[in-house]
Amino acid sequence: MRHLEIERYKIKIEGVVQGVGFRPFVYSIAKKHDIKGFVKNSSEGVFIEAEGTKESLQKFLLEFKTSLPPLAKIDKISLENIEIKGSCDFKIEKSTHSDTKYASISPDIAICEDCLRELRDKNDRRYGYYLINCTNCGPRYTIVERVPYDRKNTSMKRFRMCNECEKEYEDPSDRRYHAQPISCHKCGPLVKFYKTYKKEILASNEEAIKLCAKSIKRGNIVAVKGLGGFHIVCSATSPKSVKLLRKRKNRPTKPFAVMFKSIEEIKKVAILTEKDEELILSKEKPIVIVKKKEPHKFRKRELPITSFVAPAIDRIGVFLPYTPLHHLLFEYIECPIVATSANLSNEPIIRDIDELCQKLDNVADYVLDFNRDIINACDDSVVQAVNNKKETLRLARGYAPRYQKLPFKLKDKVLCVGANQKATITLAYEDILVTSPHIGDLGSIESMEYFERTIESFKRFYDFEPNIIVCDKHPSYETTKWAKEYQNSHSETKLFQVQHHYAHILSCMAEFDINEKVLGFSFDGTGYGDDGTIWGGEVFECDTKSYERIYHFKDIKLIGANRAIKEPKRVALAMLFEEYGLKDTLKLSNPTVKSFTKIQIKNLYTIWKNTTLKTSSLGRVFDGVASLCDILQVSNYEGESGLILESFYDGSIKDSFEFDIKDKEIAFKDLVQKSLAIMKENLNIKDKKRAVSTMFLNTLTKIILRISKESKLDTVVLSGGVFQNKTLLEMATNELEKAGKKVYFQQNTPINDGGISLGQAWWAVKNLDSLS
């Protein structure tokens, strides 16, 4: 009878379960509940064979489902009752390989509290060790070459563990059991401080960190290696240093992210909500966009960051140290530091010191480097809090690769290559979607090489060879060109294209697994439309199978194509031509008109009259409004007009512009005339800008609300880069919910073009039957 009480289960665990302390966790609870058998990694996930009484097995299963290690995530558990083997112990066995690879690679995670405690403990052997880590923190994705995630498959393979590290690595009861990047002062990579242009070593290890801190305090600009690439760093309190960095990087106004020693330091310069704090302190340690304190609210003894960090806007990107090296650096620096990605314009983040010294020797004076190679580059994630929810603006370190389980298995392998800006890729295979970290804007040879390298890495991770490719409809997108070239060289591969703005809505539907018909507002800067024009202010009724463009903003003629995107004054001039014609436009004394000569206006009018290039883009309307009220005439970075307009928003102003919705077209009836009238009023310039900006955002909210109320659909989706505007998204969401609508916007996936590849994938998996 006693024998009959014993059972043995074969358990397969899929999800983020490798390199996150999952096996020692299973080992410890197996010992606790007197379970016999083994646990091991494979390229498909984690396999367990567990033998014990039925009662002990139930307790064992319950505990490992409900008390996971911090970084582990279970997507699927398969359980099979098998023959009893009479095992005498529970063991952790060596990894095995198979022909298929389904195991998830964990994102890189900020240093944990246990490691941070050891880093600061003078009695600990890793005291002051700049690359301290354990199974609960440190590098993962950025150091792995292939799965399974074993040391021999990472960039740590060339560092042989010392006896003490090896003992920890092999002890299942130790926090560092099979922590693949494990090392210490004796056996790990070295930190060195270089003079950039000579690549001359000035100091090593602790002295390197001290000298780096001293250089920053002296006003120098330093490149500091992080988890997924280098940061360019300088003091955030020094106007001289920040202005010098702007000059060297040719980045006149685009905001810099700032790293602070603690959240208490952040609170000195920013107004934080509870959700802001939660995001800042989370284990991922993303860059969080928060509201700046007004300058007059600083205490006398506080040293605020210089206004040159984020000029002309009321927001700032803040984050905390997330590597041990960052924490050690702050032991010697009192001030917050600018920490911006080390790259040239339109190029990916630099991950190698040789490339950095070659490309940025005129930007960084010094380099703080360590010789653990970064295999896969990965930028910092960017998020913000909207109505007490997380909105993702950049999916990267800490959050990606991102995995989403499907309720069914696919027979095809689908590669979705996303858009041209903020590019990501998404793989769909078996019962999983995998979205890559942020790749970036594909505006250079180097960025395309990074895009292709990411694809090759993911194909290698999962033995993945696509038989279906999905791309955007824009013929000039580099991703579209790549997809067509790939198909030409792989004739058996099928190619499909998904409209850009429909993919925005689909990406939100994918995140929340929405399968019903929705009313989708897809607002962004640009995207190829079905009619050959540039879309960007679209309202759809759609499901996962099809879409109907029920409304769009009235088209604006683009004067000079891409130049109009970079010069808001050209968009505003087109709006003035539409409203007044040439003669009356020339008579205006508006800031837009004053930014051109009369000859230029006449020439541009001819171009405007003859152009066939039109756009419904709401992003361009933002540009036009910014120019009309003299907020911005020439843009220095994408979305600048929206950020500055938002900084002028005043909730006490309830006025709005009149608008008209008919024949599928949304038109502002008096936006131009009223804006010009307000700019003529006897008010100070700040109040004029505040009035126009606020009325414009109020109007957009009313447009969204009116269309939603008139629709029979109860589910509303808000997606696209325009909804990075926190004020607009909060107002629209609040008003829609008051009206009884179910409102969705992306939280864990990018709401901008970074989400396009996921939207393409969702279309593919929902339409595979018709594709095959």
Active-site annotation, residues: 23, 41
**Residue type at 230?**
F
Run of H or E including 259 = strand 258-259
What is the rounded CA–CA span in Å between residue 12 and residue 20? 16
Half-sphere exposure of 174 toward its Cβ, with a 13 Å CA cutoff? 15
Burial of 346 (0-12, 13-18, 19+ CB in 10 A): middle
Q: Is 506 left (phi over 0), alpha (psi -120 to 50) or beta?
A: alpha
**Residue type at 182?**
I
Burial of 598 (0-12, 13-18, 19+ CB in 10 A): exposed
Neighbouring C-beta atoms of residue 83, cutoff 10 Å: 8
Neighbouring C-beta atoms of residue 208, cutoff 10 Å: 24
What is the rounded CA–CA span in Å between residue 150 and residue 9? 26
- DSSP label of 750: B
**Exposed e or buried b for every residue in 581-592, given b needs 16+ CB within 10 A?**
eeeebeeeebbb
- DSSP label of 403: E
CB-based contact 622:642 (threshold 8 Å): yes
Contacts of 104 (CB under 8 A, 6+ apart): 14, 15, 16, 17, 18, 73, 75, 401, 403, 432, 434
Contacts of 597 (CB under 8 A, 6+ apart): none
CB-based contact 435:454 (threshold 8 Å): no
What is the rounded CA–CA span in Å between residue 167 and residue 163? 6
**For 473-559, where are the E strands, in sequence order?**
494-498, 518-523, 537-542, 547-553, 556-557
Run of H or E including 516 = none
What is the rounded CA–CA span in Å between residue 307 and residue 255? 10
What is the rounded CA–CA span in Å between residue 389 and residue 279? 10
Question: How does DSSP assign 612-657, residue by residue?
Answer: --EE--HHHHHHHHHHHTTS-SS-SSTTHHHHHHHHT--TT-----
Could you tell me which residues are beta bridge partners of residue 289? Answer: 317, 384
